[in-house]
Amino acid sequence: MAISYITHNDKRILYVDLTESKTEKRSLELLEETKDAYLASSTKLLVLVNTVGAFVNPVVSNKMKEYGKMYFKDRAEKRAFVGIQGLKKLILKAYITMVGGNIRVFDDIESAKEYLVS
């Protein structure tokens, strides 16, 4: 399942696994699922996003920015991204500039989880 909850040090983390998003259609579907998970939560979330191999293009990027402003920013306590390189790094920098929020980038999932629960 691409959107799930994991537990680390007794804290609940929303895990968004984008590694299976190999097309624009699938990436947009996963953004919808992520939005639904954010909206279903009654508390601020700790969020871990794995973008290794994820598909991104201008359509997906624009939808990310839109949802970031509308749904993600104010509903997340902390967000950690893994797998950000090349073009995705530029897109994430633009996303952070436009949306803001507490976002950090990590090389591996374990470091990201440690940050989220700290």
Tell me: the pLDDT tens digits for 43-87? 999 999 999 989 989 999 899 889 998 999 899 999 999 988 877
Q: Lowest-confidence range among 30-34, 50-54, 82-86, 113-117? A: 82-86
Query: What DSSP string runs through 78-111?
Result: EEEEE---THHHHHHHHHHHHH-SSEEEESSHHH
Contact 14, 47 (CB under 8 A): yes
Helices first, then strands: H and E counts in the chain: 4, 5
Give the residue extent of every domain in the chain: 3-117
DSSP, res 44: -
Could you please state the CATH topology (level 3) that the domain comprising 3-117 is classified under: Transcription Regulator spoIIAA (3.30.750)
- The pLDDT-based confidence of 93 (bands split at 50, 70, 90) is confident
pLDDT score for 100: 72
- The pLDDT-based confidence of 1 (bands split at 50, 70, 90) is low
Q: Is residue 88's pLDDT more than 80? A: no
118/112 Cα distance (integer angstroms): 10
29, two tokens: 């579907």
Q: Is residue 12's pLDDT more than 80? A: yes
